Amino acid sequence: MKIVEFVKKELTGWKKAEVIGLLAIVFFILINSVHSKDSPIAVISAICGIMYTIIAGKGKRSCYLFGLAGSGCYSYLAYSNALYGNLALYLFYYIPMEITGFFSWGKKLKKDKSEIIKTKLSAKDRIILSVISLLGSFAAIALLFFMKDKAPVPDGITTFLSIVGMYLTVKRCIEQWVIWMIVNAVSLFMWFNLVINGARTFSTVIMWAVYLFLAFYFYKEWKKEVL
């Protein structure tokens, strides 16, 4: 019975445009995967990843269930394309944080509906976070150069900023969407370059493009509540 109640709560509070948009994106990815003979793992990763992002933007903790499935698939893709920074990020950080986030969000829900209470950082914390993000990205790039990563600069930036972004996601901070804008833009460039060079992961390119749009959309939506 608890499972049924959980599902019902997760399905409330959606705008018609959001539901239509989600279905349209999934349909487009499936059609494109058939046309381009894309990797099945890339297709599953893209669909789960987009489901995660949209549901997280809605403040629903079921997003982490899709996040876990998508992270597993994306880890395989990162390994197959020698993106070791992304591989380590997903295996040793994203998956544990997604499990943590599921239970953490469950304790911070609004009383009137099954959505999280959104927060924001102080001005001081934003400055500290910016410095840490800059220094951490440089350190990650240097390490990946040493590891002979195929794309050390974009992989380093996305790896470290994703750590910051996931932390802010679990903490329910609106600043996460600014971090995700940067991560998604750089990731889009990185995977597009891989496709140009022969990788059959076009669905992953579509996924990052959609992520970028969603980061802007949900920043605007969360801004109505916390800024």
Q: Within the chain, which residues score under 70 in pLDDT?
A: 1
pLDDT of residue 39: 83
3-state SS of the chain is CHHHHHHHHHCCCCCHHHHHHHHHHHHHHHHHHHHHCCCHHHHHHHHHHHHHHHHHHCCCCCHHHHHHHHHHHHHHHHHHCCCHHHHHHHHHHHHHHHHHHHHHHHCCECCCCCCECCECCCHHHHHHHHHHHHHHHHHHHHHHHHCCCCCHHHHHHHHHHHHHHHHHHHCCECCHHHHHHHHHHHHHHHHHHHHHCCCCCHHHHHHHHHHHHHHHHHHHHHHHHHC
pLDDT of residue 1: 45
Tens of pLDDT, residue by residue over 105-155, are 989 988 777 789 999 999 999 999 999 999 999 999 999 898 888 789 988
pLDDT of residue 194: 82
Tens of pLDDT, residue by residue over 67-80, are 999 999 989 988 88
pLDDT of residue 29: 83
pTM of the model as a whole:
0.84
Domains of the chain, residue spans: 15-226
pLDDT of residue 35: 80
